Amino acid sequence: MEARAIHRYIGSSPRKMRLLIDLIRGMSVDKALEVLHFHPKHASKSAEKVLRSAVSNLINKDESTKVEASHLFVKEAYVNQGPTIKRISPAPMGRAYRIRKRSCHLTIVVATKE
């Protein structure tokens, strides 16, 4: 059995988020939550939130069966690019530099160990 959680329009660039997601892909949920909770990167907070949501979705999916968090693992985790907001910063001699504020979409799928 598996469940997914998606968080869209995260205010972090996809490249920075992929560094974290590559760490937890394939891990057990307990270990992945521990890694994300104590990781110093700012993106780890939103990644931990999405992982907890995926676990909650799996537990609430079928209330008749008892699912423990220790028997779950991260089956899939991927980051897609979201929309880029363009801003302008003043530059010397009347010019303007473009600042691209990138966003990303994070998807995490958890499953039970068969």
Provide the 3-class DSSP secondary structure of residue 4. Answer: strand
pTM comes to 0.91
What residue ranges in the chain does DSSP mark as E strands? 2-10, 72-81, 85-90, 96-101, 104-112
Q: pLDDT-based confidence at 88, cuts 50/70/90?
A: very high
Q: What integer pLDDT is reported at residue 101 of this predicted model?
A: 97
Average pLDDT over residues 4-23: 96
Amino acid present at 93:
M
The CATH number assigned to the domain holding 106 equals 3.90.470.10
- Residue count of the chain: 114
pLDDT in tens, 48-80: 999 999 999 999 987 777 888 788 999 999 999
Say how far apart CA 72 and CA 95 lie, in whole Å: 54
Helices 43-61, 29-37: inter-axial angle, 10-degree rounding = 150
Query: How many domains does the structure of the chain reveal?
Result: 1
Q: What integer pLDDT is reported at residue 28 of this predicted model?
A: 95
Say how far apart CA 49 and CA 12 lie, in whole Å: 14
Provide φ and ψ at 105, rounded to 5°.
-115, 130
Query: Which structural domain range is residue 74 located in?
Result: 2-112
pLDDT in tens, 19-58: 999 999 999 999 999 999 999 999 999 999 999 999 999 9
Q: What integer pLDDT is reported at residue 15 of this predicted model?
A: 96
